[in-house]
Structure 1
Amino acid sequence: MSKPLIKLFSLNGLQYNPNRDPQVYRRCVNEPFRIQVVLDGAGDARCRVEDAQGRPLVEETLALPGTFDCRIAFDTPGSRVVSVRIESGDRSALETLRLDVLERAWIG
């Protein structure tokens, strides 16, 4: 049995949990989302962050074990669906995220 490729997945400094209140992950316009993925294994891994149409927003190759760390920001409010795709040899992992961008910060 092989080990999982992803050891830890975090968004904005918090371990990602799709059941968590989405408010903790939201960002304002032009405020970056920070995606970190701690990877296990040996060799090289190809890491991509793609939009809903499959276009790459960020692409990087790194040595394993290692950490993929990227920041992405959006200049308009709304919800975006992005996919984080990790490929290493015959192993791959995919995590789909909903990123909510607020027009302005909440007051109060």
Structure 2
Amino acid sequence: MTYAPKIVLITGAGTGIGAATARRLAGNGHRVVLGARRLDRLAAVTEEISRAGGSAEYSRLGVTQPDSGLICAALLAAVKGVCPSGLGCRRHAECRC
């Protein structure tokens, strides 16, 4: 079965099942946004995906730290090309709202 490429946010993407999921989805043509606490691991997975021809971005994300969720959401919004506020502000040149 084939799917249209999507932008996928993956938490816990620095190791284990999260990293394997990121590799698989990127290998299938999806653009992945990776989140986890350890930036060194995220950078390594992102580099591996990029070397294999995939598209990946990463941000620190600790599910118990609300501010890191906002940062990751802003990165996801930027990747999607929409205003990070999600409010249709029309103030940012890059907005599609």
Whether TM exceeds 0.5 here: the answer is no
TM tier, shorter chain? under 0.3
Higher strand share: 1
Larger radius of gyration: 1
Higher helix share: 2
TM-score when scaled to structure 1?
Answer: 0.23
TM-score when scaled to structure 2?
Answer: 0.24
